[in-house]
Chain A
Amino acid sequence: MIELRNVSIRSGSFVLSDVTLTVPTGGYAILMGGTGQGKTTIVEAICGLRTVERGSVIVGGVDVTRFKPADRGIGYVPQDLALFPTMTVREHLEFALRIRRAARTLIRDRVADLSHVLGIEGLLERDVHHLSGGEAQRVALGRALAFDPQVLLMDEPLKALDETTRDRLCELLRSVQRDRGLTTLHVTHSRTEARALADHLLVIESRRVTERPLTLLATREDHADGSSSSSPGSATRLHERTAS
């Protein structure tokens, strides 16, 4: 479970206060909200990259508010992916396990398993500079999942991908999440992604997070699909309608 209790975060002049949200164990929550509302800030606070001024961050029943990012055991896929430019795809998948000094056989098996599940077996020896958007996305996901975390945070992971790739990755995300029982928080602007993936819908507006019924996505869909929900721009506009 991921739980934020009255969390306040300050970053320069940007302040988020009294954020409370819950993602139940094994649930797939989608966090939507307009630009500048603080979605990324919330994700970074959960994985420990932003200092929480007040309140508690609880992951898997443990209060991790004062834990270092390394000790939280959270898989994180940032918006810009931030792949390691000097490493091959294989080294990305091995990274978290090598840091944990895992046995060589375990690393080998995990890399084989992950690369098979993510469909990147053929890319293992490639460096990351020439990967396509979808491939890079799979590598970032594999890197985050390699140490078998129970919680996965993704910040607009499917942004800037074409529709076909995005649909495929949505299916992949859903199956990986179900198979591993991952508690997932996924930030997106896209209602298409939200419809495909969400068990829970969280909406941030006026810097407040509230859980909304999934039917909200379905009822707006009728309007949505008439005006094509595929382009990121239209998804954003639709979302803003949701928010307003």
Chain B
Amino acid sequence: MPHRHPPESPPAPTAVTAPSKQAHRAGSDLPFLALMGGLGGSYILLILAMLAADMVYTSPAHFAAALAKPEIQFAVRLTLISCTISALLSIWVATPLAYLLSRFQFRGRWLIDTALDVPVVLPPLVIGLSLLILFHLPIAGGNLEEWFQRHLRFRVTFQKPAVILAQFAVACAFAVQTMRVTFDQIDPRAEQVALTLGCRRSQAFLKVVLPQAWRGLIAAFTIAWARSLGEFGPILVFAGATRMRTEVLSTTVFLELSVGQLEAAVAVSLLMVMAAMAVLGIVRLVGAKVH
């Protein structure tokens, strides 16, 4: 009997079977994401709750009253100026330091790395105390404070320069950390090629590396500014908390609290939050536009 092919017909659809017991099923990702969101979100919630509590506690009237005080107006001005100067000084110093640490291997580098951790890990009060001692330690029949007065004709301790120096001493370490990461992430190959094209190291740095480091510079400035704004301990010890002279907003909160003016302290605290958010927002916006 000749073999006959069955007439061609469309293939029957494969039957969809239920997964067997052995088949692996990964299950839902929802519990994981909920846990991550819940844990992470709890911190956001804490921040928002603190701010909300401050806002509920104070009122526009308290706010207006606090802002009307000449001492507080002075503190706002000094805060904005000192934070900006110390942030600028920080990136001015942190950029070369971070670049050297990122690009060169040399003996004793661990010592520099450790020294840079000191302002980060020490209680800020200790930084202030150390500055105070540094400026008044007898050296060669005088001290640093006298040297500044004699040669540069200005006083440091318990004056405005002390505010800036106290802020800078801490903020700069954070700026160095940020710039270090920035330079580590920039491929050194491009600057090496620049060297073969005829550049001195300085030209390779200015023309090839620094333009790539813009985002890091802005981040370092922001971090240094924010650290300076929050600085309190070193300023209290090294610059004092004299109204209309060395009072910045963080000392205002302390001074208002110490005389029982809780409403004013809260109003100034909120003012600091707003100032910080405004500056961070502006700097990030500028950073985004640069790129």
Q: Interface on A for B, CB 8 Å cutoff? A: 47-49, 68-70, 72, 74-76, 78, 80, 82-86, 95-96, 99-100, 143-144, 146-147
User: A144 CB to closest chain B CB, in angstroms?
Assistant: 8
A74–B192 alpha-carbon span in the complex (Å): 13
User: A136 CB to closest chain B CB, in angstroms?
Assistant: 13
A121–B119 alpha-carbon span in the complex (Å): 53
Chain B residue contacts of A143, Cβ below 8 A: 193, 197
Asked if B200 contacts A83 (CB within 8 A), the reply is no
Beyond A69-B192, A84-B190, whether A147 also contacts B212 by CB under 8 A is: no
Our pick among A48, A49, A70, A82 for the contact of B187 (Cβ within 8 Å) is A82
Chain B residue contacts of A76, Cβ below 8 A: 193, 196
Q: Does B195 sit at the interface, judged by CB under 8 A?
A: yes
Q: Say what secondary structure dominates the interface of chain B.
A: helix
Between A and B, 14 residue pairs with Cβ closer than 8 Å are: A68-B195, A69-B192, A69-B196, A72-B196, A78-B193, A82-B192, A82-B193, A84-B194, A95-B197, A95-B207, A96-B197, A99-B199, A144-B197, A147-B198
Chain B residue contacts of A144, Cβ below 8 A: 196-197
Q: Does B42 sit at the interface, judged by CB under 8 A?
A: no
Contacting A at CB under 8 A, from B193-226, are: 193-200, 203, 207-208, 211-212
Chain A residue contacts of B25, Cβ below 8 A: none
Query: How many residues of chain B have a CB within 8 Å of chain A?
Result: 17
Our pick among B187, B190, B196 for the contact of A74 (Cβ within 8 Å) is B196
A78–B194 alpha-carbon span in the complex (Å): 11
Q: Does B189 sit at the interface, judged by CB under 8 A?
A: yes
Please give me the 4 A-B residue pairs with the lowest Cβ-Cβ distance, nearest first: A82-B189, A86-B211, A69-B195, A96-B197
A100–B187 alpha-carbon span in the complex (Å): 24
Asked if A99 contacts B198 (CB within 8 A), the reply is yes
Asked if B196 contacts A99 (CB within 8 A), the reply is no
A70-B197, A82-B193, A95-B197 known; 4 other A-B pairs, CB under 8 Å? A86-B208, A143-B197, A146-B197, A147-B197
A47–B192 alpha-carbon span in the complex (Å): 10
Beyond A82-B187, A82-B189, A85-B190, whether A70 also contacts B208 by CB under 8 A is: no
A-B contact count (CB 8 A): 57
User: B136 CB to closest chain A CB, in angstroms?
Assistant: 47
Chain A residue contacts of B200, Cβ below 8 A: 70
Chain B residue contacts of A147, Cβ below 8 A: 197-198
A49–B193 alpha-carbon span in the complex (Å): 9
Asked if A47 contacts B196 (CB within 8 A), the reply is yes
Chain A residue contacts of B211, Cβ below 8 A: 86
A163–B198 alpha-carbon span in the complex (Å): 33
Q: Interface on B for A, CB 8 Å cutoff? A: 187, 189-190, 192-200, 203, 207-208, 211-212
Asked if B190 contacts A96 (CB within 8 A), the reply is no
Chain A residue contacts of B197, Cβ below 8 A: 70, 95-96, 99, 143-144, 146-147
A181–B212 alpha-carbon span in the complex (Å): 36
Our pick among B187, B198, B212 for the contact of A86 (Cβ within 8 Å) is B212
A96–B207 alpha-carbon span in the complex (Å): 12
Asked if B190 contacts A83 (CB within 8 A), the reply is yes
Chain B residue contacts of A72, Cβ below 8 A: 196
Asked if B203 contacts A99 (CB within 8 A), the reply is yes
A155–B284 alpha-carbon span in the complex (Å): 40
Asked if A85 contacts B196 (CB within 8 A), the reply is no
Chain A residue contacts of B192, Cβ below 8 A: 49, 69, 78, 82
A82–B208 alpha-carbon span in the complex (Å): 11
A86–B213 alpha-carbon span in the complex (Å): 10
A242–B78 alpha-carbon span in the complex (Å): 74
A85–B211 alpha-carbon span in the complex (Å): 9
A74–B193 alpha-carbon span in the complex (Å): 10
Of A69, A83, A96, A144, most buried by chain B (CB within 10 Å of CB) is A69
Asked if A70 contacts B189 (CB within 8 A), the reply is no
A40–B224 alpha-carbon span in the complex (Å): 41
Chain A residue contacts of B196, Cβ below 8 A: 47-49, 69-70, 72, 74-76, 144
A82–B190 alpha-carbon span in the complex (Å): 5
Our pick among B198, B203, B208 for the contact of A84 (Cβ within 8 Å) is B208
